[in-house]
A and B are shown apart, each in its own frame.
Chain A
């Protein structure tokens, strides 16, 4: 138990350090690679918080596909260094906004239910049915799969619609590029 808590604390500290490094670093390629590391560390943290399915997905989709997509974009747009902000006055305003918002949110965590409590509001409404009756109702040992595909199947259908829309959007934005270039070459 103590070991688990220590790992949790260290992983969270790692995440904070990596996020600062991403902000500070000027080279966009390094920022993308750091983001890949960030995703992988967060997948480990999900595993520590007993969310194995989320950890798989984050490692495959967050650390894998997102990083590859960003690298592909870098390959197409050219590797540029982020320019130094010339105007010092403007870079202060975001910091103030962020600190004020963060302080408000920290004030908000005082009222949150205790971390890891078994009778938190999130644990008492519909979750007991999912954990206790899904074996007799759905007969799938993985509770996440049972909720994802059966109890909340329409949510997943909505997710598919979102992904389809995103795919159509990407195709409309950059799909016709090659044809247009060929036309230009003909002219």
Chain B
């Protein structure tokens, strides 16, 4: 594998793990959702990297061009981006409800309240 490919995949894994770390270690619920989004974006990079062909044109038909990057991965990621926003918005709505019911969005405080119930 070329050096560029290794760098690409290494950074993708790094971003994925950063997002994962934020999801499991952040105590603030909004930061957890940001971590989820960072994780998601790294998966998008992975797919787009699979669809990339060196020296290829973007997937728009032009007379005389033979080599296009893979449109299938682009379609999958387009769908995933929009679905990602849908899930994030449901998560944010849940956070608003939690804030209304418990008065905090810090996970540690929520745990304390839960055990005292």
Interface residues of A, Cβ cutoff 8 Å to B: 1, 5, 8-9, 12-13, 15-16, 19-20, 22-23, 28, 31-32, 35, 38-39, 42, 45-46, 49-54, 57-58, 61-62, 65-66, 69-70, 72-74, 76-78, 80, 82-83, 85, 91, 94-95, 97-99, 101-102, 105-106, 109-110, 112, 114-118, 120, 122-123, 126-127, 130-131, 134-135, 141-144, 146-148, 152, 155-156, 159, 162-163, 165-167, 169-170, 173-174, 177
B34 touches A163 (CB 8 A): no
With both chains docked as a complex, state the minimum distance between the C-beta of A107 and any C-beta of chain B, in angstroms.
10
B106 touches A69 (CB 8 A): no
B14 touches A16 (CB 8 A): yes
Contacts of A77 in B (CB 8 A): 30, 95-96, 99, 105
With both chains docked as a complex, state the minimum distance between the C-beta of B101 and any C-beta of chain A, in angstroms.
11
Interface residues of B, Cβ cutoff 8 Å to A: 1-2, 4-11, 13-22, 24-28, 30-31, 33-35, 37-38, 41, 44-45, 48-62, 67-75, 77-79, 81-90, 92-97, 99-100, 105-106, 108
B70 touches A122 (CB 8 A): yes
Q: Would A51 and B77 be within 8 Å (CB), given that A115-B8, A142-B61, A169-B90 are in contact?
A: yes
Residue of A nearest to B65 (CB): A131
With both chains docked as a complex, state the minimum distance between the C-beta of A103 and any C-beta of chain B, in angstroms.
9
